[in-house]
Amino acid sequence: MKHYILFLFLLISSLVPSPAALGAAAVQEQEAQDSVLLQAQDAQEEAAIHLAEGEEAHPITTAPAWAVIPFVLLLLMIATGPLFYEHFWHRYYPMVAIGLALLVIFYYVFYLLNIPSVIHALAEYVQFISLLAALFIASGGIMINIDKRSTPLANVILLLTGAVISNLIGTTGASMLLIRPFIRLNKTRIKAYHIIFFIFIVSNIGGSLTPIGDPPLFLGFLKGVPFFWTLTHNFLPWLFALLVLSAIFYWFDSRNKEHLDEVVEDVVYTNKVRLVGLRNFGWLAVVIAAVFIDPKIFPEYVPGIHYHGETFSFVRELILLSVAFLSYRFASKEALAGNDFNFEPIREVAFIFIGIFGTMMPALELVGTFAQSESGAALITHNTLFWGTGILSGFLDNAPTYLNFLAAAMASKGASLSNPSEVVGFSQGLYHDSVMDLMAISIAAVFFGAMTYIGNGPNFMVKSIAEQIGIKMPSFFGYIIRYSLPILLPILLLVWLIFFAFHSV
């Protein structure tokens, strides 16, 4: 495989020379053919040595700012498609997402010669979709029936329970497990705001306390942040945000009187919870255990794919995809039927995020380059880290955004993200203001993921499940304008004012 990639590098280099090479060619005489062949052989041997050592085999050019156009275009089409050209969008969105992703990928491969970035994005996508598919399908085989009358208090209790569970099985796992029973509980009075607050509380903010809760925190754990660091440092902002959101939801839900007067008075509720498909809890346990089967955690026992200085997991992904197949193959038919289970939500997420992962490479690269530049580092405080990480996490994948800003914060203090002992020291305050920096990055990456449908993986899937059931959800911009800006953003501002703004640097 390495020889094939190396051959591709050399072939592309010969066909698409860089501007610098063209300039040099204009002032140099043509070399003899045998000399050229000899130099090519020497370059191939040297490149092979670099690849074996995990180094770059060719100079990698940074993408220009205009390369983010496909990403912006995809976001605009996600926002406007269901509103203005619904038939076209629902029929052709897979081709639109793949097509825009291929434009960026071809540019990286055949012009920038930046194959490592493409491989890295592909690996992240495979990890992302494998986990989501396993959790979606395994939880789809579990039917939870709550025989209780829907009340604002009952809904708040369920949402807060989901927030706690999200730290044990992840925000994706908790979302997939609880969204259907939450909808069933409110079947006579379900509104879009029920789903939006579910996304705020269960799919995002709830998972702030453990590395299992949300992907950015898990990446931090892999880099060296202690497992219980998030619990001890994020607890108070987590509690504050959940209490405020719960109070606002309670007010919203108390004003929703639709169909409450139509409920038959002599209906007797048992207030019991019935579970169908218990065996799939075992599959969920396998998924959670598989998350830790990573060559970065257990390098001596878990094999990985070594490429360009990175080690990519494949054993975990094989386990997750196997769980996805087996949990559906042996699922309770009653549970699947009761949940109206189908594959459309995961299909939609898979295609949309192919486009997002493929087109956002230039955006992440530009953010990372600026954040780690001298001018960018001069702007770094825990306050700018909070808002910078947060705003970008709402529109980009929050996991690489977390890593980019953490790397920049550590570099500004003379530390390196690639050194686990320095990461531990950074989390323990051995560098000036480092605990606040890490806390700001961690809170912002998770909390701001709720700002848009694409801020976190579960958001779009919960929306898709709700729409499959028949709930009319707001558009991309409708979600932001009607809910994120007037409700979530003021809470995030309060979190910043209380926990970060007045902390001395």
Query: pLDDT digits over 271-290, tens only?
Result: 788 889 999 999 999 998 99
Whether residues 37 and 142 fall in one domain: no
- Partners of 274 in beta bridges: 145
Residue 415 included in any domain:
yes
Whether residues 446 and 371 fall in one domain: yes
Whether residues 246 and 340 fall in one domain: yes
pLDDT of residue 218: 86
The position carrying tokens 């050194």 is: 419
Whether residues 191 and 46 fall in one domain: no
pLDDT of residue 60: 55
Separation of alpha carbons 212 and 19, rounded Å: 46
Enter the tokens of residue 233: 């440092």
Mean pLDDT of the chain: 83
Whether residues 310 and 428 fall in one domain: yes
Taking Cα atoms as reference points, which of 151, 161, 167, 180 lies closest to residue 345?
Answer: 180
Whether residues 48 and 106 fall in one domain: no
- Range of lowest pLDDT (18-27, 61-70, 84-93, 403-412): 18-27
Percentage of the chain beyond pLDDT 70 is: 85
- Range of lowest pLDDT (16-30, 200-214, 421-435): 16-30
Separation of alpha carbons 295 and 298, rounded Å: 5
Full residue range of the structural domain in which residue 347 is found: 72-501
Residue 384 included in any domain:
yes
Residues 301-327 have pLDDT tens digits of 999 998 887 888 899 999 999 999 999
Q: Which residue has the higher pLDDT, 327 or 28?
A: 327
How many domains does the chain divide into?
2
Whether residues 45 and 88 fall in one domain: no
pLDDT of residue 82: 77
Note the maximum CA span of the chain.
97
Whether residues 49 and 142 fall in one domain: no
Q: What distance, in Å, lies between the first and last C-alpha atoms of the chain? A: 49
**HEC sequence for 307-335:** ECCEEEECHHHHHHHHHHHHHHHCCCHHH
- Partners of 143 in beta bridges: 276
Residues 98-149 have pLDDT tens digits of 999 999 999 999 999 999 999 988 988 998 889 889 988 998 899 988 888 8
Separation of alpha carbons 29 and 415, rounded Å: 46
Whether residues 76 and 54 fall in one domain: no
Residue 370 included in any domain:
yes
Give the residue-averaged pLDDT of 80-94.
86
Give the residue-averaged pLDDT of 139-166.
92
Whether residues 330 and 195 fall in one domain: yes
Q: With a cut of 60, say whether residue 263 has pLDDT above it.
A: no
Whether residues 220 and 294 fall in one domain: yes
Residue 51 included in any domain:
yes
Residues 386-432 have pLDDT tens digits of 999 999 899 877 887 888 889 888 888 888 887 888 999 999 999 98
pLDDT of residue 59: 53
Residue 452 included in any domain:
yes
The position carrying tokens 């169909």 is: 259
363 within 8 A of 404, measured Cβ to Cβ: no
316 within 8 A of 294, measured Cβ to Cβ: yes
Q: With a cut of 80, say whether residue 27 has pLDDT above it.
A: no
Q: With a cut of 60, say whether residue 484 has pLDDT above it.
A: yes
287 within 8 A of 138, measured Cβ to Cβ: yes
Q: How far is CA 229 from CA 112, 239, 354, 411, 505, in A?
A: 39, 16, 32, 21, 21
pLDDT of residue 33: 40
Residue 24 included in any domain:
no
Whether residues 196 and 159 fall in one domain: yes
Q: With a cut of 90, say whether residue 35 has pLDDT above it.
A: no
Taking Cα atoms as reference points, which of 479, 408, 418 lies closest to residue 440?
Answer: 408
Residue 222 included in any domain:
yes
Residue 22 included in any domain:
no
| DSSP letter, residue 249 | H
